[in-house]
Chains A and B, each alone.
Chain A
Amino acid sequence: MSILVDDDTRVVVQGITGGEGRFHTEQMMEYGTNVVAGAVPGKGGQEVEDVPVYDTVHEAVAEEDADASVIFVPPAFAGDAIFEALDTDLDLAVAITEGVPTQDMSKVYKRLSETDTRLLGPNCPGIITPGEAKLGILPGNIFEAGNVGLVSRSGTLTYQVVDNLTQRGIGQTTAIGIGGDPIIGTDFIDALSLFEDDPDTDAVVMCGEIGGEDEEEAAAFIAENMDTPVAGFIAGRTAPPGKRMGHAGAIVSGSGTGTAESKINALNDAGVPVGDTPEEVADNIEDFL
């Protein structure tokens, strides 16, 4: 079982004719994802991998009955592409694009609250329900179907932790990369509550990192609302204050919040064991199962 996506999900790829869009459409279809349409202004009538391309997302949704979108659109146009997805009543929009201006995302975030669409990202690796569908750029071969949910702010860290789980035979219900930008759609709490409600998810891994206060807020949510056990990991323990480590979110102000220590303490207080290494995270999950 799964959350958000499965083999019934009908996917439209925005930006399907670009290099990344084309390559990952192939990869997604090879994995078994039901890609039904592409949407690129000016490219209507073409085909990519036998998938029909439309000029607008509205047309793609109307003609092919799509219910989810994956967005591979360059940063300058990504904000508009997300608005377009939100205007079509899709259930899910997944924005892979890195480097979307924060003020654009602020406007998107406002619009999002007025729709029923769920947004993942931007600057995220996407979502995968192993054996059924992947929407995004995650390497499908490391995942295995099973009973552990995973939510992470970092793409490659997701892969690392999943690898540690799969290597010892622990499969996943769904893995979600929520992205490391300052303003994102789905956050830890949204993902955790979906896993809590999923009868097939028996334990959850939550991978966070320094910067912001999302992990501290998630810890409070876990303590109050979750029966499903959660194991945590926090990247950036050794990061020096005041330096930006790649992700926009991964900066420590030095004022006490947002540090690895404050996040680990908050999670421990909520009963969430935080591994020192990805291998220890897998140990902790094994203990729960």
Chain B
Amino acid sequence: MSVDKDTVRRVAHLARIAVAEDELAPLGDRLNAILDFADQLAEVDVNDVEPMTSVTPMALRQRDDVVTDGGDVEKVLMNAPAARQGFFAVPKVVE
């Protein structure tokens, strides 16, 4: 399967990574090299094989649905690039 420029543009948007027009082709080559390598997997007969969903066969633990931590607005915001009045600040989202 070959990744063309349009596909790279689409994937870049899905990944929320800005890619300049002249970088699309080299990036496509890189993705193709990786995907060509992965294409070996097509040789494997995976009929009737369950996909692995858990590395060790154990059920995820659940805990009671109670607050164990919280109320730390200052700690939560201390690393934010922009914060105002106890909130994260971002460019205007709603017109």
A interacts with B: no
Using a CB–CB cutoff of 8 Å, the interface residues on chain B facing chain A are: none
Using a CB–CB cutoff of 8 Å, the interface residues on chain A facing chain B are: none
